[in-house]
């Protein structure tokens, strides 16, 4: 009898250890790690903070001193159209050019082959209006103010932030020819305001689908071309608009930067 009980316990332990813990939604699928790499470039050049020199669509030469943006609400979809949504509490990331590790966003998804990935560039309105206790990690407002990704005066996150210098920008109080693009706006809490939340979907089939398996990490390599922020339905001139923050013009930049993301290849 003791031997039988021992065998049953071993079977139960093996079964429970071989699967992920059941989520509140009842999902018991076996999960593995999917990595999404955000590789910032400017045309055919890698972004190099402070030292790189780039030319935008209207011929203005500039360099970049700061580049960072929020990625959230990640979903993957297979060829049959079945979609998996990463639990929201595990789906907020701040990608920073100054922090190489932050450029690899890692989530847990069910084993399978995925032909597309989607994500929000920014922070969704629901999370923006949640109690502070629900906004931790990279969304901690106090930390966000330290890294410049939270507007205390407007109680909202800066979704995309790029700063740098250009000879065509006016001289600021520090004596630099500096431009600043701080793009946010989640639609407003008590009354409608700017809404620059953007959902991006990337087709993976041309560069190789993501094959998520136990024991190995699949990495989706995305190129993020910041020059496309300047080029789209509205061409952006640094000379004309050197500083864009919470203003109507920010919508033009948000409409452009949805096109920055391109699938290069997948490493399985």
What pLDDT does residue 1 have? 47
Question: Given the structure tokens 């890692």, which residue do they identify?
Answer: 106
The pLDDT tens digits for 83-118 are 999 999 999 999 999 999 999 999 999 999 999 999
| Rounded Cα distance, 170 and 150, in Å | 25
* Contact criterion met (CB below 8 Å) for 253 and 181: yes
Average pLDDT of span 229-252: 96
Least confident among 25-39, 79-93, 116-130, 244-258: 25-39
> Residue 13 pLDDT > 60, yes or no?
no
pLDDT at 20: 37
> What is the β-pairing status of strands 178-184 and 104-110?
unpaired
**78 and 263 Cβ atoms separated by less than 8 Å:** no
Domain ranges, ordered by start, for the chain: 32-267
Q: What is the pLDDT of residues 161-183, one digit of tens each?
A: 999 999 999 999 889 999 999 99
Tokens of 129: 């209006």
pLDDT band at 213 (very low <50, low <70, confident <90, very high): very high
One-character DSSP codes across 149-216:
-EETTTTEEEEEEEEEE-TTSPB-TTS-BEEEEEEE-BS-SSS---B--EEEEEE-TTT--EEEBTTB
Tokens of 79: 């060829």
Residues 254, 61, 66, 175: is their CA dihedral positive or negative?
A: negative
pLDDT digits (tens, 9 = 90+) for 114-155: 999 999 999 999 898 888 888 999 998 876 555 689 987 666
Tokens 């699949």 identify what position? Answer: 218
Which residues neighbour 126 within 8 Å (Cβ) at sequence distance 6 or greater? none
H helices of 92-135, in order, are: 125-128
Considering the entire predicted model, what is its pTM?
A: 0.87
Per residue in 145-180, is it b (16+ CB within 10 Å) or e — as a string?
Answer: eebebbbeeeebbbbbbbbbbbebbeeeeeeebbbb
């Amino acid at each position: 009898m003791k031997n039988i009980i021992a065998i049953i316990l071993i079977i139960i332990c093996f079964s429970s250890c071989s699967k992920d813990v059941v989520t509140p939604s009842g999902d018991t699928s076996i999960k593995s790690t999917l990595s999404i790499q955000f590789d910032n470039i400017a045309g055919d050049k890698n972004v190099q903070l402070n030292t790189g020199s780039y030319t935008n669509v209207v011929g203005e030469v500039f360099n970049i001193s700061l580049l960072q943006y929020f990625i959230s609400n990640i979903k993957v979809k297979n060829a049959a159209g079945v979609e998996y949504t990463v639990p929201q509490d595990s789906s907020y990331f701040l990608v920073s050019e100054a922090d190489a590790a932050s450029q690899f966003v890692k989530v847990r998804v069910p084993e399978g082959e995925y032909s597309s990935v989607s994500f929000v560039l920014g922070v969704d309105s629901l999370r923006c209006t949640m109690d502070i206790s629900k906004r931790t990690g990279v969304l901690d407002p106090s930390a966000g103010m330290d890294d410049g990704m939270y507007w205390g005066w407007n109680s909202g996150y800066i979704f995309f932030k790029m700063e740098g210098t250009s000879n065509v920008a006016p001289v600021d109080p520090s004596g630099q020819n500096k431009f600043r693009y701080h793009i946010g706006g989640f639609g407003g809490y008590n009354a409608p305001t700017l809404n620059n939340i953007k959902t991006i979907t990337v087709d993976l089939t041309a560069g190789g689908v993501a094959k998520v398996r136990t024991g190995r990490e699949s990495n989706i390599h995305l190129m993020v071309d910041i020059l496309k922020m300047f080029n789209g339905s509205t061409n952006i001139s640094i000379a004309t608009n050197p500083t864009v923050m919470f203003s109507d013009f920010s919508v033009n930049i948000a409409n452009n930067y949805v096109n920055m993301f391109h699938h290069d290849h997948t490493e399985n």
